Each structure stands twice: as structure tokens, then as C-alpha cells.
Amino acid sequence: MLALSTPILVALLSALTASAWKDQCEGFTANIPNVVMKPSYYPAGALVNLTSPSSSVTTTKMPAFCRLELTITTNVTSGNKALTEVWMPDGWNSRLLGFGNGGLSGGVVYSSLSYDGIQQGYSSFSTNTGHQSSPINGSWALNDVNAQIDFGYRAFQLSYQAAKALTEQYYGKAISKKYYLGCSTAGRMGLVEAQRYPEDFDGIVIGSPANPVARLSAWNIYQGRQVLPVNGSRWIPAATWSVIHQEVLKQCDGIDGVVDQVINDPRQCNFRPEAIACGPSSNSSTCLTLGQIAAVRALYSDWQSDNGTFLFSRFEPGGELAYATSYVSGPNIALGPEYWKNIIFSDPNWDYNTLTVDDVFRAIQSNPGQIDNHSFNYTSYFARGGKLLHYAGLADQIISSGNSYDLYNSVSAFTKASTNLDPYDSYRFFPIPGMYHCNGGLGANAFGGGGQRSVGTPPLAVDPSHDVLAAMVAWVENGNAPKEFVAAKYTNNNATQGVQYTRKLCPYPKKAVYQGGDQNSSDSFICA
Ligand SMILES: *[C@@H]1O[C@H](CO)[C@@H](O)[C@H](O)[C@H]1NC(C)=O
Ligand SMILES: *[C@@H]1O[C@H](CO)[C@@H](O)[C@H](O)[C@H]1NC(C)=O
Ligand SMILES: *[C@@H]1O[C@H](CO)[C@@H](O)[C@H](O)[C@H]1NC(C)=O
Ligand SMILES: *[C@@H]1O[C@H](CO)[C@@H](O)[C@H](O)[C@H]1NC(C)=O
Ligand SMILES: *[C@@H]1O[C@H](CO)[C@@H](O)[C@H](O)[C@H]1NC(C)=O
Ligand SMILES: *[C@@H]1O[C@H](CO)[C@@H](O)[C@H](O)[C@H]1NC(C)=O
Ligand SMILES: *[C@@H]1O[C@H](CO)[C@@H](O)[C@H](O)[C@H]1NC(C)=O
Ligand SMILES: *[C@@H]1O[C@H](CO)[C@@H](O)[C@H](O)[C@H]1NC(C)=O
Ligand SMILES: *[C@@H]1O[C@H](CO)[C@@H](O)[C@H](O)[C@H]1NC(C)=O
Ligand SMILES: *[C@@H]1O[C@H](CO)[C@@H](O)[C@H](O)[C@H]1NC(C)=O
């Protein structure tokens, strides 16, 4: 017998395997109704250089994989189509992973397929949700009910079905477990899946869900209207947001015993903008006028209708440097009006200044495309063993983190009231102090959340203590529910510049409590 050293043997075997996989991929055919498929094979280290309207990657760091480009006809009568991709690595971990989208979507999320998906061994899929367009442009939805339904739930669910069938045919073996990962609109999509199709996924990891869109997009407009017009009496220029931020830190940073530019629990911060009111001899670039104080008071209060009905939660103190770039940064208010123009009023010229609270309640009722689900009933998903892990940045500038607390509290209460399940066995919520929308910010914000790797903030390790998806796998497959994470804050939120500090992330209602010692070490904190 020819004696070969183990490394040579492994190299020979994998060389053979790679060419077999190439043949398997390029010759792969499958007959799925209403799905047209095009396979192509990428050897390990090949250039992957792909762009969609919402994502692009240029990398040579991917493992070998088979790329399937699918065109799915979502409604044969209308002819609406979704573009979906399924990427299947040679070194498959026997699991399926689905990704959601951002904003109003409009493209396959190549960055997630690459960095969150095949690099971790998952057979991975992503869809354009039924239209190609920039994430902040909603004109695709105008008078196209089928496109609205596709965005609401259909394109993703059909993509899931195709990805599941194709993965099992390609590898000739059943998928072991199925997972979902995503933030923002992807968070809404994960919730929709858990609610409408509780059998699809075993573990769903969502961040800052854009749900319900009717309330959120109205709140975007409401917040913008607090400061507009630009240069009016309530307008807050970017430099003034920095001044407000410094004052927030002065009033609230130390509440948790740690002065670190992060408000650990913004709900404990009763910010008083009056403390920096302009006096007769003030320098107007370092103080707030009466109009600005009124605007700040409104922005940092929950939005209620005149009769006291709650509509949406407030901006939390601490995110000011990001608020300077959000809805309150100029007259366009980004996404909010796109939903109302194209989906609710079918009028591209609709003026956001005319939005009323009654419009919001009517949109909640009509719910075009069933984009939202206003019910807190996730009991079918929980009862069949499905797990839900949810996180939200406490300095989120796009979707106030209060919306996540509200969802968690409401779903927990509903579950307790209508079943004998303990919701904590199925659903855990991790507030992330100082994190902006989905990633970034001044707090420890790298823990494997959707899209974090592709912006340069990977988790410290791919294990259940540092990575939310690995924690979800341990929860689903070994019954180890996540108790805490260690997240990294990288210098300039860029891992190549090194770790600035580490910090514990805790499941609500627990918080990270400082025990003394090195503030830069997560070991100095406990979840309590
Ligand atoms: C990636 O593709 C774009 C066009 O789609 C091209 O301009 C660019 O040069 C490509 N990058 C590399 C590294 O080949
Ligand atoms: C498919 O589109 C047609 C034409 O717009 C519509 O009448 C029908 O209700 C749609 N079917 C579904 C299931 O959405
Ligand atoms: C949105 O997309 C449509 C269609 O491509 C285009 O005509 C329109 O100018 C875009 N709107 C914005 C605000 O970019
Ligand atoms: C919400 O989801 C539940 C469960 O699938 C469904 O019965 C209900 O009709 C949905 N409601 C809306 C408004 O989509
Ligand atoms: C607002 O004021 C700034 C600074 O004075 C000026 O540069 C800018 O053009 C003004 N913008 C508008 C819309 O008036
Ligand atoms: C006002 O404060 C700004 C920012 O600190 C500073 O640049 C500017 O020189 C000050 N102006 C006066 C008149 O003191
Ligand atoms: C409050 O006002 C909203 C919007 O006008 C209305 O839909 C709702 O029924 C009112 N609630 C109460 C308690 O009056
Ligand atoms: C929750 O939804 C399920 C279907 O998904 C339904 O069977 C159940 O009755 C609902 N629970 C309540 C309390 O409405
Ligand atoms: C991260 O830092 C490295 C090294 O300083 C730099 O080359 C790279 O461009 C940075 N990345 C980003 C996204 O800023
Ligand atoms: C923590 O890190 C900061 C820099 O990020 C540094 O200034 C500080 O000295 C460190 N503290 C300790 C106790 O090491």
C-alpha cells in the first residue's frame, strides 16, 4: 500500500472532490414549477464580483461553491417575478440559512450570502423580494398589487421552498436544520415567516425589525416634521446634534457607573435639553433655542395621537451623532414617504405634510400586500419548538429600539395569556447599548448580527459566546439557550484596527452590570 502523509492525502482527496463538485454544479438540473435556474461554479479563492441594487461584493476569500441564479414566477397570471440566488458550498454544514433585505429591498444581498452564509458553511439563499430597485425607492410598488404581496411575504416564501428543494437535491441528503438571519426589513421578514409559516425555520435571528411598516414610516415623517423646514425655528443642524450628544453624555453616561460614551439603558435617562438653553450672551452654536428645545422634547417623547393613543416610540438619548444623518437631517425624510406614496395612496405626488393620524389607522386596517402583521401571536412557531432571537441597537437612528421592547413585551404577554408556554424558552431579546441601526455606533456592536461581517465588524469568534447565529444553532440543536454574549467594539468600528474593548450583551430584562476592574474587559461585567 502506498503510504501517503495525511496532508497529501487530504489535498488529493479534496482536489478530486473539487472537480467532482464542479461537474455536479455545472450539470445540475432540477424541475421546480415556475422556477428557471442557471448554475455556475466558483472554485475556492475565485473572484466573486457581484452587484445588485442593494448589495455588492468583490472578494477572493470565498470557499468553493455552486451558485444558482433563479427566476421565480410568483404569480403565473400576472407574470410577476423574483430573482433569487442559492449558494451551496462544497464544504456544506448540512444546514440551510435564509437572509432578508433592507429598506424597500430590490436586490439579492450578495454580502450576506458571502460573509454570513457560505463562509460559515451554510447553503444560503437571498431574494430581491420581487423587484429590482434601490432600497430607498418605492416606485416599483405603484399600482402593482402582486409586487406588494411579493414584498410582503410571497417572494421570500417561494424562495425558501425552492432553496430547500434544490439544496436537498444537490447534496442528495436532507437538510438538518433551517435558520434565518437578518436586520431591519429582514427583521420584519423573519417575523412574517415565524407567524405565517411556522414550520419553515427552526431558528430565526432578527435585528431591529421594520415592523409594522405603517406605524414606522408614519413616525419617520412625524419625526422629520418636528424639525423642518431646514433653517426654520426648530431646525437642528448637524453641529448642534453633536452639542446635544455631549449634553446627553454629561447628564446620563455615568448612570450605570461606567463613563464610556454609551448610555447603557436610555430608558433611565431623563434628558433635559433646557440645561443648554440659549441665554442672552450665549454662543448660538453651543446652545438650544426655544424652538429647538421644543423639537428635541417632541423627538425624545413617544408619539401619541391627540387623544393619547400610542403610535410609536421615541428617539432614545445617545444616538445623536446618527440622528444628524437620519430623517431629521433634511427635507427628504428618506424612506417614510415612499410607502405612503406608492403603497397606500398610489400617488407619486402625495405630500407628506398632509399625513394624519387617521391615515395611519386606516393603513393599519388595509395592510396592502399584507406587509405588516399587527398580531402578537407567534404561538404556533413557539409550540413546534421554533426559537426566536432578537436584538436592537439602543442608539438606532432608523427604527427606535422602543419598538423592539414593545414587540418583545407584547409577544411575551400574548404567549403567556394564551398558552402554557414560557416565552423565555422560545424568544430572547438582546438590547445592544450604543449600537446604531443593525451595526456601528459607540457601543460594543460586533456579535455576528446580520450584515455585521460585511461592514468590517465580524464577531470575535464563531462560537455561541460571541456569535448570535452560532448561539442560535446551539439553542436549536443542543438546547443551550443563549444567556449572554461577549461583543467587541473595534477601533473606528474596523476590526483591522484592533479591539477597543469587549462588553457583555444580556437578554432583557437583564443588563450588563459593572463589577469593578478594567472597563475594557467584558469580565468586569455580569448580566443581572
Ligand atoms: C468587478 O466588476 C465591475 C463591473 O461589474 C468591474 O468594473 C470591476 O473592475 C470588477 N472588479 C474586479 C476586481 O475585477
Ligand atoms: C395573481 O395576479 C392576478 C392578476 O393580477 C390576480 O387577479 C390574482 O389575484 C393574483 N393571484 C394571487 C394568488 O395573488
Ligand atoms: C425611483 O425609481 C424610478 C424608476 O426607476 C425613477 O423613475 C425615480 O426617479 C426614482 N426615484 C428616486 C427618488 O430616485
Ligand atoms: C397574521 O398572521 C396570522 C397567522 O398567519 C394570520 O392568520 C393573519 O391573517 C395575519 N394577519 C394579517 C393582517 O396579515
Ligand atoms: C441653511 O443655512 C445654511 C447655513 O447658513 C446654508 O448654507 C444653507 O444653504 C441653508 N439651507 C436652506 C435650505 O436654507
Ligand atoms: C461659538 O462656538 C463655536 C463652536 O465651539 C466656535 O467655533 C465659535 O468660534 C464660537 N463663536 C464665538 C463668537 O465665540
Ligand atoms: C383616538 O384617535 C384615533 C385617530 O383619530 C382613533 O382611531 C381612535 O379610535 C381614538 N381612540 C380613542 C380611545 O378615542
Ligand atoms: C394564534 O394563531 C394560531 C394559528 O397560527 C391559532 O391557532 C390560535 O388560535 C391563535 N391564538 C389566539 C389566542 O388567537
Ligand atoms: C479599516 O482599516 C484598514 C486599516 O487601517 C483600512 O485599510 C481600511 O480601509 C478600513 N476599512 C474601512 C471600511 O474603513
Ligand atoms: C481602555 O481603552 C482605552 C482606549 O480605548 C484606553 O484609553 C484606556 O486606558 C483603557 N483602559 C484600561 C483600564 O486599560
Dist. CA 5 → ligand 4 center (Å):
59
Q: Is the dihedral of CA 293, 299, 304, 310 positive or negative?
A: negative
User: How many residues are listed for the chain in this entry?
Assistant: 528
Give the whole-angstrom CA distance, residue 374 versus residue 360.
13
Query: Residues 54, 111, 184, 404: which is the catalytic one?
Result: 184
Query: Residues 396, 400, 466, 467: which is the catalytic one?
Result: 396
Is-cis flag, bond preceding 482, omega within 30? no
The answer, yes or no, to whether any atom of ligand 4 lies below 6 A from the CB of 457, is no
100-123: pLDDT as tens digits = 999 999 999 999 999 999 999 999
Threshold 0.85, pTM exceeds: yes
- Residue from 78, 153, 154, 157 to probe ligand 2 pocket by mutation (most atoms less than 8 Å from CB): 78
CB 315 within 8 A of CB 223: yes
Question: What is the CA 109 to chain-centroid distance, rounded?
Answer: 12
Ligand 6 atom closest to 284 (CA): 1
Q: Closest-lying ligand to the alpha carbon of 259? A: 10
Residue 437: active-site member: yes
* pLDDT(334) > 90: no
**What pLDDT is recorded for position 13?**
55
Q: Closest-lying ligand to the alpha carbon of 503? A: 10
Paired residues of 504 in beta bridges: 486
Give the whole-angstrom CA distance, residue 237 versus residue 246.
15
Give the whole-angstrom CA distance, residue 173 versus residue 147.
34
Burial class from Cβ neighbours inside 10 Å (0-12, 13-18, 19+) for residue 330 reads middle
Give the whole-angstrom CA distance, residue 169 versus residue 56.
28
Dist. CA 243 → ligand 6 center (Å):
12
The answer, yes or no, to whether any atom of ligand 4 lies below 6 A from the CB of 177, is no
The answer, yes or no, to whether any atom of ligand 6 lies below 6 A from the CB of 286, is yes
The answer, yes or no, to whether any atom of ligand 6 lies below 6 A from the CB of 285, is yes
Residue 390: active-site member: no
Give the whole-angstrom CA distance, residue 217 versus residue 311.
11
343-370: pLDDT as tens digits = 999 999 999 999 999 999 999 999 999 9
Dist. CA 48 → ligand 1 center (Å):
10
Nearest to 342 by CA among 210, 217, 187: 217
Nearest to 375 by CA among 385, 386, 367, 383: 367
**What pLDDT is recorded for position 1?**
41
Give the whole-angstrom CA distance, residue 295 versus residue 233.
9
Average pLDDT over residues 74-96: 98
CB 448 within 8 A of CB 438: no
Q: Whose CA is nearest to atom 12 of ligand 3?
A: 137
207-232: pLDDT as tens digits = 999 999 999 999 999 999 999 999 99
Dist. CA 257 → ligand 9 center (Å):
32
Dist. CA 244 → ligand 10 center (Å):
25
* pLDDT(10) > 90: no
Give the whole-angstrom CA distance, residue 219 versus residue 432.
22
Residue 245: active-site member: no
